[in-house]
Structure 1
Amino acid sequence: MAMGLYLVAAQVTRLGNASDAKVKLEALATIARAMEAFTLERGPLNVAMQSELPTPDAVTTELATLSPRADAGLKDIETRLSGLDNGQELNEVYAQVKQNIITLRNQARAQMAKPKAERDAAFVKDYAANAAKMIGGLTPLLDRLETETATLSPNAGDYISTARLAMDLRSAAGNKGLAITNVVGNSATAAPVTLERLADLSARIEEL
């Protein structure tokens, strides 16, 4: 999805109000790419917290590739937003979201470094939902940039809307997979609230 937005940005000079629309579209694509990086990272983190032993070697290897991308994503968002005409305002919004992301990632790493018996069971149980909420915290920035870009270049707005649908579908499918992993990892019957969440995610996927 992020690559598609970058390609649109490369062509946006044909679509009117080129300079302003392009920089906003590039910022939107940067946020989308960072969200993808956080989504890819949360899977191994969740698997590690379901493991009996501290941080399995396979997860360590996987995170060695994924976590630097997520770290870079945090910095890239701030840099891109700073280049916008309303960058200071947007970065003020982003600052709290960024802190929430950092906090949850650090907490997850601390938990996975412990044997399963010593982990905070409530944190592990709620991680999937909290990770989705963490990543979703960036959605208001996406929404705002999408609106601003579409105002400057309606044709670009059409491309963005299509890309956002694909992103929403991928997000819902990923959240459903993470919830199922938690049920299997806990070797227990899914609680009613978990079944309800799975049903909601399935309905969302079908809707998209």
Structure 2
Amino acid sequence: MARTQGSHSGTTRPRVRAAAQRLFAQSGYAAVSMRQIASEVGVQAGALYNYTPDKQALLFDLMQQHMDDLLAARALQTHGAGPLAALEQFTRFHIRFHLDRPDAVFIAYMELRNLTAPHFEQIEQLRRRYESELTDILRTGQRAGVFEIADIPVATRAVIAMLTGVTTWYRESGALSRVDVEDVYWQMVRGAVGAR
């Protein structure tokens, strides 16, 4: 199939991904057609298949890239000494990383239901890898008597959900700076795990 005049794989593929991410976040995966994505990019609908097999593959690619980026960024972080410092560092990292990517975060959490079973399992494995780090911090803190937690798996999911929720309401033009938000959320996380 001939490529649309003026399109180049090196520039068009990222534009396809960016357009899909923007449209999926705005309208939801189910409501967006490949034709709409093509129109946004400025190519014919058939040309999209030079860059992705189908809409499902595009959704999976966006989610996988988000999780890969998250895990790679997390791997570069230094961890605080002791469970309380480690939890604070995790909290602040999570907020910083996610505030810069509201569309990717929305898709990663709200569009899981639209993944096929094999794709869903692959994304869930990546999510579990990330969440297991928080679980380990909480378990270490509980054993050391630093945290008082009734159920560690539930606490892990609750903390992740609380932290991720910041992307739904935070605005740069609002009353709180990013550092203020980190400080407020850190106090809430401390309270949620019964930190002493």
Query: Greater helix percent: which structure?
Result: 1
Larger radius of gyration: 2
Scaled by the length of structure 2, what TM-score is found?
A: 0.35
Scaled by the length of structure 1, what TM-score is found?
A: 0.34
